[in-house]
Amino acid sequence: MTSVTAGGHHHDVDVIVLATGLRAHDYMRPMRVVGRGGVTLDDVWRDSPRAYRMTAIPGFPNLFTVLGPNSPTGPISLQYSASVTATYIIAWLTRFRAGEVDRIEVTDEATDEFNAQVDDAMEPTVWNTGCNSWYQTGTGIDLWPFDRRTMESMLAGPDDRHVTLRG
């Protein structure tokens, strides 16, 4: 097999590896997700992905994510995290089905509070020692800094204080 470089040079090769790079923080992108007022997820996440407890994004009513920003990737299995998150989302969907609400949007304040808790919990960890890893986003560290019990508590059920509801 022959490979031709951009400069026009021919190289005999046995294998070509197309490695486009790991873009761990893109989550559901390159889908074009449009929220309230025409804002896009690309615009909101330009500097760094952020969400409320891995599950909801301000400006995007009725959008829930499983394994979104700050999801556990090490000490808590992704399958367990997805299950806990899905159960949380089902609790909201049950309220939809019952006719209690027809629009749910997490507030900026609740999202900022959660992300401040993440930043505080990350402060004394190895991830803040200057190491270079794919967990770093440029403006923070996209990793779950809490234990399993904290995740279970945060996602135990809907908290109306952290969202605006319409129903």
Mean pLDDT across the stretch 66-95? 92
User: Which of 145, 150, 153 shows the shortest CA–CA distance to 120?
Assistant: 145
Which pLDDT score, from 0 to 100, does residue 134 have? 78
Domains and CATH numbers, the chain: 11-166 (3.50.50.60)
Q: What percent of the chain has pLDDT over 90?
A: 57
Which pLDDT score, from 0 to 100, does residue 142 have? 86
Mean pLDDT across the stretch 122-145? 83
Which pLDDT score, from 0 to 100, does residue 148 have? 95
Please, which residues have CB within 8 angstroms of residue 75's CB and are 6 or more apart in sequence?
Answer: 147, 148
Number of residues that this document lists for the chain: 167
Mean pLDDT across the stretch 96-113? 95
Please tell me the pTM assigned to this model.
0.82
Contacts 24+ apart (CB under 8 A), 154-157: 154/53, 154/114, 155/53, 155/55, 155/84, 155/85, 155/87, 155/88, 156/88, 157/88, 157/91
What torsion do the CA atoms of 149, 161, 111, 66 make, to the nearest 10 degrees? 60
More confident residue, 120 or 16: 120
19-56 pLDDT, tens per residue? 555 666 777 777 788 999 999 999 999 888 899 999 99
Report d(CA 106, CA 58) in Å as an integer: 5
